[in-house]
Chain A
């Protein structure tokens, strides 16, 4: 069943405007830091998305900033009530993504807006696109901050869409980290590099919002099908100009080329999702381009990684947490939910569980730390079913009162990590080594009932009739809330 979602970025922009979640900026804005500074402030203040109509030096190009940096925008993208709660959005996301995969369909080039303009060979010049200098001190202009890279497994033909940041090096070259445990990393370093073969790629900028969400999701389902599941209808794809990859027909800008197996060049530093500029400038994966295709008056999409909350933090937290929820439910663990706080820059996951047996928190930690999701987070907080996992107040209270400072904390050493961890030492960053920790915030089952601390709250320590009386008379007592 199709959901009331958007076929492209332009329909989504209109929906943001209708929902008073868009600021259209008519005055010219400089791609060199000014645009990035606006988007950064928007993320920090949780303001409406900025829609830039005039970009200095680049007439005809526009940009949308912070396209999905709030749950409200995610709800709008999903075609839901903009005021839907996080649990409501989560449940709907899980419902849609546990049904049958929806395969994409191929459309003719003449029906694909992303083919309205085609730059090939010498005309394909990355610096003719308004890639912003996002933060002062970045290693270059990042054309791809809210986008995805399409690649194909040479053996299985499986398609991958993933968000791999890309810095413009020169007219024909982009560079960025492709971590070896990522889907594209396993494909490129495991199957193309050993044969010294370049890997075709296509970077998609300004896609419909749910294709972007799908590209962020660490699901085992190919993202071009996952996006269809979120939309309730097939994604329309079109064939690339220079290779057999397929890209969303309604995207704003497509960059085609090859990932080179035999060379690395320096990339970074960059303001990253952790809120720091952490990973070092070092030799990274090289993309050489062959073609650029784009819609008339293309609209770039620009995310600005930094302190919370940007879309990387919000959507990665959202989808990582929900993939963990699916994993734990598939194993029959009696969880009440999983929530990853965006403010933790998806480093901390909260799992609610009915403590049905001893060691359940360790079992949860072993499962999630043992999954392919694990390099992206470091802390698991397991709380009981009476704790509201979506409430920071509740979770902090449980963490500080139920987690034994010695017995309740278990460390997991020698785990895979990323070079982006601000707390890691230089050697750990260099080798992507991590550590992880479990905070068990459940009371042990072997404590006698008479020894169990009783939570003291309005809902817990007053009889029902007293609570009802207080609630009924609340305003008459003089309270306004």
Chain B
């Protein structure tokens, strides 16, 4: 057990890789394609259970990392394999391991083409995603960040829809452009550290320590450039308006499991990166550029909602709703209040669960009808009552109905923004209020596009004869949705266990950003569950 807890994160990263190798070996010796999904499912479930061990200590150390492993990797450039987990990454790792088995089950009958490669790529993707959330060395982080592109590229390209090649290449190039500039910034940081202290390093904890203690200082313009280089990579990944155009294509063309993982986990890499690296490393630049990010986030919220409203394709509609939701996350983060940032983290988890669930549900109907056009449907509630129920609950969670998880996150973000002092406050107008109100309209739009879509798809009479013979959800599909629905309700009424774990890490980042604002430390109000 000691071995497991000492190397827990490494195990979580390596197990999927070994699993993928095992799958290939299994296929070479037994040639039983129908075993593959069972083996993959078993591997991902084991990984999920293992990841629950993180709850033992993860996020409980104030400002520190648990399950740390730090061994030299390439000594010539002083880069180390340094991993660890804190309150910020803890839930994202568990979200990743939780969503994987669900994604695997969702593909139970959907993948007929090349199942071996499909499951192997899914496992490799999982390894890269966990790696992103736990890396504490910038070069290793970059490595996983890039490595996550390749399996997803193949997943979209081989198992995607009609326009898959365009979507896959666009996905890859958009993300690669941003992350390469981040690489330059990472190497630049290395040299600044070398000039300041004599030792170059990619280690995040060391860099942060040097910046906090003032040993490593850079001019405001350098800080801005570095911040932008990092933020560009993450904004594309989030995606923040106007870098979002890859998202609808990738989501629409990806196979269901790919869309679920893309929405649930891959997008979170962007927001996670901003919070983990951008804020603590470049707090001054973060504050200086916050208004721009807030404006872009609000544009994203409203624009995403408006465009979602007119989509004829359900999956595309959900994809655009992601743009709007991730806008909320960005807004909360850049409010630099505990409410806002905790809410942003919580909303990341919510979005992962709700949007993941929506993509699953869209996948269910697509498997039955092989179309996602809203106009093809109508009155589905009559033939698939259970499906309709699940869909409405999930949509409500996405809209932010009280007692469901989406409400908690959006509410906290809006309180955070309202209380924030990041935007100008003049005698006549407090721009923080304006920003909150503008974002609030996004919630209304979300209700509009989702409810309107539900009305057109589920209610009324069955207009299309093809829909009459549809069967309701199978036990497998129900089993798939139950944990997600349970979490939507649980996280909606009892967010405390989640927020308690993440508070220390988030407050540390928040204080770090606020403290440098000319000494005006904002009172960090503790809050109870609303």
Q: Do A and B come from one complex?
A: no
